[in-house]
Amino acid sequence: MKRRSRNPGSQTALRQLNRQRIIDTLLGSGPSTQAEISRSTGLSTATVSNIVKNMAAKGLVFTSPTTSSGRRAVSVTFNGNGAIAVGIDFGRSHVRVVLANLSYQVVAERAVPLPLGHHASESIKAAADLLARLLAEADLPRSAIVGAGAGIPGPIDRRTGTVVQGAILPEWVGIHLLDRLEKVLEVPVYADNDANLGALAEVTWGQYGSVSNLMFLKIGSGIGAGLILNGAPYYGHVGVTGEIGHATINEHGPICRCGNRGCLETVASTATMIELLGRGSAEPLTVGDIVSRALAKDSATLRVIDDAGLAVGRAIGNVANLINPEIIVVGGPLAGLGAILLDPIRRGLLRHAVPVVGESTTLAMSSLGDRAEALGAASLVFAQQGISRR
Amino acid sequence: MKRRSRNPGSQTALRQLNRQRIIDTLLGSGPSTQAEISRSTGLSTATVSNIVKNMAAKGLVFTSPTTSSGRRAVSVTFNGNGAIAVGIDFGRSHVRVVLANLSYQVVAERAVPLPLGHHASESIKAAADLLARLLAEADLPRSAIVGAGAGIPGPIDRRTGTVVQGAILPEWVGIHLLDRLEKVLEVPVYADNDANLGALAEVTWGQYGSVSNLMFLKIGSGIGAGLILNGAPYYGHVGVTGEIGHATINEHGPICRCGNRGCLETVASTATMIELLGRGSAEPLTVGDIVSRALAKDSATLRVIDDAGLAVGRAIGNVANLINPEIIVVGGPLAGLGAILLDPIRRGLLRHAVPVVGESTTLAMSSLGDRAEALGAASLVFAQQGISRR
């Protein structure tokens, strides 16, 4: 949520970079003496000593006296369990909370269902209750928490820290998230869009740690993308990025909740699928029904998914032409469809991307399932604290 | 052209970052002692001394003995004129060459016209001749050149260093640019797409040095964009980015030179405008004719430009939804149209972007005119040498 420094040469940014170098060294080489850290980072011993002292005070590293070449030295060890990040995924009909440590292990995890259309204060209370319960179960003090990350299914204006119009959760629009959450959770809170957190999860918890340019595409009630560009989460000018659900697919198509016409969401969101397939049925359809019908080869369901996939593929073809990602990971509640959804998306991508781009873009389903957003929220905490691997 | 290190933690990347820190300090604070540089960068004196020695050997800095607080010290001064970058803009019907120094001043500059459809070897020879002539005029030895940047109006596959299919200059496709140019120019050569260089020029030579997220949109025979994201030029996975000329505007529209249908270029490129407006006229129309007719308020010309602008606006609305740039700068041969072109683009942008994105995106004409690409090509040299301000 905090704006990243606009001036990469500022002293604050420099200190952060220096700290990151030291963490990278400790994660890469294991316990090291301050002199070793100084040699491998190029930083002066005074700089290393200052940063190590500061990290030790926060419980991020342990220091212990040792000897090196017969001389007294200070050994520095990264404290994987010294800091716990909370990851919270606020969904339309659930809240999920994970506790993660610095070694990227989940220490505790729980989710609860919530009624559709519930108010923001309800889910914030549910998250606070889950957090208290998880801390008790894991026998951890609240003081071990370095911060909480919160994923929201809607764009966040980083200038004001509020959820902007057009969010999947209209009940959240205009709320100053961080203030509300920090008051209830009593820890520093960072918030981000759910698709951004999905992308962050793929490069921290998932299998794409070495990928510099990745797009996470979340297809759900809305359609949004999170971007990792040049190896870092990308937030753009005001923080509203990846809004490909509002790419115009059909100039004179149906009116979208954003006020525009023929947006991708009017063709390919799960809400649209439910509407198309639910006509005439007594009970309202669920996303789970769509997945199970498709897996049972129901022809109407397969057709709706194929059309949606082609439209998504067309939109991401245009996206790929612009940002030429190495990989596009598809997440969200339809992930269980596998190739049934991925194949039409790939056809659309290859049809609409320029050949070299289409051929060099890998398309895959997320392996993190419905945990991606919460895991990414935990990563956000480490990233904002300058203690991440990215 | 060289791939940037995939591993930001590698020793090479670290050395480059350390060198950039020192250059930033010298550019920001003026001549400094090595001890001062060490203090303001946090780097050890040994690291600073090594890098300074290396830079002095290349003529990038002068060192001289001095005293500081009564002790002997080494003063380091940045040599603005010690290194000359060549910027070359290869166009469809011209070649432009500039010589620039490290203080971002143009030392010499010339352009020559070339016939449409000329072969790559012709323009390479023209560039070499211009370079020799400029060096003679500026009374500079070839050894002052640190490298040459070359802008090509087509996508470059950075895996192979070749111009890929779909380029505006079909005569260049498949050529291994760097080898060819280095053989003729006898200096290290870096190449990039012209729109990428336009973006780089805007943040180095233009007025947008403090902008972190900028898109340069070149509207000409083709339509392409260059991106500065998170403060750095963005190249994506294989180097083919910003291909918004091939965004699908009309699913069943005319066939595009890329093999797809209804691409933005089939609606809004200068080639399309010339075709639309030139029907029935004896002489082939030029882009200059379009600009002068529009400025003279010819109604058919204004209509064609308005339609093109709206289509461009729709495409960049979708782009802005994805990457939320702070500013979009429009360049290319139509820049002289000013508001006549900018107004319909803005209407299209506001119509198709989500509100918060449309409202927070600034749209402007480039102030660099037809020099943007050559100036950006010179900046590319400094950037690749790790001696830039970006």
Identify the H or E element spanning B76: strand B71-78
Domains of chain A listed by start with CATH number = 11-78 (1.10.10.10), 84-201+373-379 (3.30.420.40), 207-367 (3.30.420.40)
Q: Which CA distances in Å does B279 have to B255, B273, B297, B308?
A: 19, 10, 19, 17
pLDDT top residue among B4 and A159: A159
Interchain proximity A357–B238, CB inside 8 Å? yes
pLDDT top residue among A389 and A178: A178
Sequence-separated (6 or more) residues with CB below 8 Å from residue A3: A158
Q: Is B260 in the A-facing interface, judged by CB distances under 8 Å?
A: yes
Q: What is the CA radius of gyration of chain B?
A: 22
pLDDT top residue among A119 and B341: B341
- What residue in A sits closest to B40 (Cα-Cα)? A11
At B312 the pLDDT is: 97
Classify residue B361 by its DSSP letter: -
Instruction: Please list the pLDDT of chain B residue by residue as tens digits (390 residues).
Output: 333 333 445 667 778 778 878 887 887 788 999 999 999 888 999 999 999 998 888 777 889 999 888 889 999 988 766 689 999 999 888 999 999 988 788 999 999 999 888 888 899 999 999 999 999 999 888 888 989 999 988 888 888 888 876 656 667 777 777 888 899 998 889 999 999 999 999 999 999 999 999 999 999 989 999 999 999 999 999 999 999 999 988 888 999 888 888 999 999 999 999 999 998 788 889 999 999 999 999 999 999 999 999 999 999 999 999 999 999 999 999 999 999 999 999 999 999 999 999 999 999 999 998 899 999 999 999 888 766 654
The amino acid present at B7, given as its one-letter code, is: N
Q: Residue A385 above 70 pLDDT? A: yes
CB atoms within 10 A of CB B145: 20
Do residues A383 and A233 make contact, with C-beta atoms less than 8 angstroms apart? yes
Out of A62-66, A137-141, A364-368, give the one with best mean pLDDT: A364-368
Interchain proximity B321–A356, CB inside 8 Å? no
Do residues A370 and A96 make contact, with C-beta atoms less than 8 angstroms apart? yes
CA distance A13 to A388: 15
Do residues B314 and A225 make contact, with C-beta atoms less than 8 angstroms apart? no
CA distance A118 to A121: 8
Give the rounded distance of the alpha carbon of A112 from its chain centre. Answer: 20
- B241 closest CB neighbour out of A47, A164, A323: A323
Q: Is B236 in the A-facing interface, judged by CB distances under 8 Å?
A: yes
Q: Is the ipTM of this complex over 0.90?
A: no
User: Best of A322, A357, A361, A388 to disrupt the B interface by mutation (most B CBs within 10 Å)?
Assistant: A322
Q: Which of chain B's residues have a Cβ under 8 Å away from the Cβ of A226? A: none
User: Best of A11, A16, A318, A359 to disrupt the B interface by mutation (most B CBs within 10 Å)?
Assistant: A318
At B155 the pLDDT is: 85
pLDDT band at A308, cuts 50/70/90?
very high
CA distance A190 to A68: 41
The amino acid present at A134, given as its one-letter code, is: L
CA distance B282 to A311: 43
CA-CA-CA-CA torsion sign (A153, A154, A158, A161):
negative
Closest CA to A333 of A195, A221, A220, A189: A220
- A42 closest CB neighbour out of B8, B14, B236: B14
- What residue in B sits closest to A167 (Cα-Cα)? B354
At A14 the pLDDT is: 78
Q: Is A225 in the B-facing interface, judged by CB distances under 8 Å?
A: yes
CA distance B42 to A365: 43
Closest CA to B235 of B200, B194, B196: B196
User: Best of B196, B263, B319, B321 to disrupt the A interface by mutation (most A CBs within 10 Å)?
Assistant: B321
CB atoms within 10 A of CB B359: 10
Report the gap between the CA of A55 and the closest CA in chain B (Å): 17
Q: What is the interface size between A and B, counted as CB pairs within 8 Å?
A: 175
Q: Residue A322 above 60 pLDDT? A: yes
Pairing of strands B71-78, B32-33: antiparallel
Q: Residue A334 above 80 pLDDT? A: yes
Mean pLDDT over A348-372 rounds to 94
Interchain proximity A324–B240, CB inside 8 Å? yes
- A14 closest CB neighbour out of B42, B246, B314: B42
CB atoms within 10 A of CB B73: 17
- A229 closest CB neighbour out of B9, B28, B230: B230
Among left, alpha and beta (phi > 0; psi -120 to 50; other), residue A228 is beta
Q: Which CA distances in Å does B117 have to B122, B124, B168, B290?
A: 10, 14, 10, 21
Q: Tens of pLDDT along A11-32?
A: 677 777 788 788 878 877 889 9
Closest CA to A154 of A195, A111, A211, A212: A195
Secondary structure, 3-state, chain A? CCCCCCCCCCHHHHHHHHHHHHHHHHHHHCCEEHHHHHHHHCECHHHHHHHHHHHHHCCCEEEEEEEECCEEEEEEEECCCCCEEEEEEECCCEEEEEEEECCCCEEEEEEEECCCCCCHHHHHHHHHHHHHHHHHHCCCCHHHEEEEEEEECCCEECCCCEECCCCCCHHHCCCEHHHHHHHHHCCCEEEEEHHHHHHHHHHHCCCCCCCCCEEEEEECCCEEEEEEECCEECCCCCCCCCCHHHCECCCCCCECCCCCECECHHHHCHHHHHHHHHCCCCCCCCHHHHHHHHHCCCHHHHHHHHHHHHHHHHHHHHHHHHHCCCEEEEECCCHHHCHHHHHHHHHHHHHHCCHHHHHHCEEEECCCHHHHHHHHHHHHHHHHCCCCCC
Report the gap between the CA of A290 and the closest CA in chain B (Å): 28
Q: Is B239 in the A-facing interface, judged by CB distances under 8 Å?
A: yes
CA distance A212 to B179: 28
Q: Which CA distances in Å does A138 have to A78, A181, A341, A380?
A: 21, 22, 38, 21
Report the gap between the CA of B335 and the closest CA in chain A (Å): 22
Q: Which of chain B's residues have a Cβ under 8 Å away from the Cβ of A223? A: none
CA distance B270 to B282: 18
At B387 the pLDDT is: 67
DSSP per-residue string spanning B145-176: EEEEEEEESS-EETTTTEEPTT-S-GGGBT-B
CA distance B87 to B112: 14
CA distance A209 to A345: 24
Do residues A348 and A309 make contact, with C-beta atoms less than 8 angstroms apart? yes
At A283 the pLDDT is: 84
pLDDT top residue among A310 and B146: A310
Interchain proximity A230–B227, CB inside 8 Å? no
Classify residue B114 by its DSSP letter: -
Interchain proximity A155–B326, CB inside 8 Å? no
Q: Which of chain B's residues have a Cβ under 8 Å away from the Cβ of A28? A: 9
Strand, helix or coil at B199?
A: helix
Encoding tokens for residue B349?
């942008």
Sequence-separated (6 or more) residues with CB below 8 Å from residue B129: none
Instruction: Determine the Cα angle at B215 with ends B209 and B216, to 5°.
Output: 90
Interchain proximity A243–B354, CB inside 8 Å? yes
Q: Is B266 in the A-facing interface, judged by CB distances under 8 Å?
A: no
- What residue in A sits closest to B257 (Cα-Cα)? A354
The amino acid present at A266, given as its one-letter code, is: T
At A60 the pLDDT is: 79
Closest CA to A191 of A384, A12, A60: A384
Q: Is A300 in the B-facing interface, judged by CB distances under 8 Å?
A: no
Q: Which of chain A's residues have a Cβ under 8 Å away from the Cβ of B164? A: 356
Interchain proximity B357–A45, CB inside 8 Å? no
Identify the H or E element spanning B74: strand B71-78
- B321 closest CB neighbour out of A244, A324, A326: A244
Report the gap between the CA of A382 and the closest CA in chain B (Å): 18
Q: Which of chain A's residues have a Cβ under 8 Å away from the Cβ of B232? A: 230
Q: Is A234 in the B-facing interface, judged by CB distances under 8 Å?
A: yes
Classify residue B248 by its DSSP letter: B
